[in-house]
Amino acid sequence: MQRIIRDGDPVCRHASEESDDMSAHLRSVLTGSFLTLPVVEHWLGLGVWQGGYLWEYRYQGRKRCLVLTIQGEIRAL
């Protein structure tokens, strides 16, 4: 990602934040900020080589919170 959007580039700079802030915003636009995962019979319905990853775009990571939204039907077992 450094090759595509360089940290500290004057073209991509906020006036009030750190040098990696605007580049982090642009990278998140390219990769997305949400993920939909299937749940099948109470388990993640992923293939053998599939998974979800959190990518930190800044030099110094910060404390993050995940927000989960669950949609679907609840069936009696």
The CA-CA-CA angle for residues 37, 41, 44, to 5°, reads: 30
pTM for the structure as a whole:
0.61
Q: Any residues with CB less than 8 A from the CB of 8 and at least 6 apart, and which?
A: 19, 20, 23
Task: State the pLDDT at residue 46.
Answer: 92
Task: State the pLDDT at residue 77.
Answer: 64
C-alpha 19/C-alpha 10 separation (Å) is: 9
In 3D, which of 31, 38, 35, 13 has the Cα closest to residue 23?
A: 13
Q: How is the chain split into domains, by residue range?
A: 1-77
SS3 (DSSP) at 44: strand
If the chain, 77 residues long, is cut into consecutive pieces of 10 residues, what is the mean pLDDT of each piece? Answer: 79 69 83 85 89 80 81 73
Task: State the pLDDT at residue 68.
Answer: 84
